[in-house]
Structure 1
Amino acid sequence: MRRPGTSGRAGPRSRGRPAAGVRVPGPRRPPGSDRWPAPRRPPAQLGGHKAPPFEAASYLQLNNYAVADSDRDLLQDKHEDGHLVTVIHTTAPGLELWLDGEARPMQTAADEVILMPGSVFTDLSGGRVPALYHQVRNLRLADRTALMYFVNPELTEPVYSWAAEPGQTPVDLRDKIRSNPAMFGLPDVPTL
């Protein structure tokens, strides 16, 4: 995954990957198991509320931009997606991320994705993680596709900020989470 604002390259020919023969440790499934280990509880400084499950309330969306009308500079105006996280892969340039007050072009390689925190992440983190605003520039390409996985918490139980102050009454964020995507023309997060 490439960090916004970087070329993604660790060296002149490395493409950001470890050198040949270098093993990078990562999470491992227990032997004989088809499930990953349970996530760790958030640290106490983030309120200690558990992370909600997300699989059933998250969904994929495929956007295909054919040759776009030439008088429009942006195919999508500046916005954030209103979800917990958006995982995105694009097939051609056009995505611009707003970083330090300016729009910066960002393109994924064939084996890369970009993780974009949304306003739900901002609420869960008590404002510590801001939503990543982005837009799609009309480069008048013959074809451009974006595959997005919108990660949303399941809303079957109360969802609280991970950053509640000690002694503060936690606020259930489900109603806000449920209706957030509607601001962007997307369906409500389902209650399953």
Structure 2
Amino acid sequence: MLDLWPSCKLISWEIDVILVDVPRDFFGLPKLEAPTTHGGVLQVCIGDALEPSASIDGGFAGIVINLFANGEILPQLQEPKTRLELKKKLKEGGRIMINCGGICVEKSDFLSEVDDGTWIWEDGGYAKEATLRAIAEVFPETLFRKMGSDNNNYMALTGPLLDLAAWAAVLPAKLQKGLTDWRSFYP
């Protein structure tokens, strides 16, 4: 992201330190964490993004949420109070993008790193619909988009539908693919 917008300030929270340590050790994360000459930076925080301390003065322009843990929607994100707290963390006009799951949701015993027969594969349609409905309770203007092929995830984006052509015009070509596929959750 910083190669496209070198002045962008990105703040990330991850509760599992191993998911930060591995990219730091093997995938060059420290290079992304170094400030650019234009003031952009990726700041990685270890902790719970749902805690009140996971905020910034003035609010976030955007929050990206991967709402699954062990193949299930995080219980906190099913609570209206949590969604209202997330909304308070946004600056005016800010949006939240949510991974709503895909056609198939994996549930694992989480102790096995390979499918040794203990994994359960479930229809992801329920998780997607439940997530979209829960988000739409707090953000009535919720958009959704199916990503790529039949097996890929659905994404949700809070806020009103944008002028998709104008949005595409300001993005680099590699980010324009599928942009016109966003639809209102409540047509």
Q: Normalising by structure 1, what TM-score?
A: 0.31
More relative contact order, 1 or 2 (CA 8 Å, 6+ apart): 1
- Greater Rg over alpha carbons, structure: 1
The structure with the largest strand share of the pair is 2
The structure with the largest helix share of the pair is 2
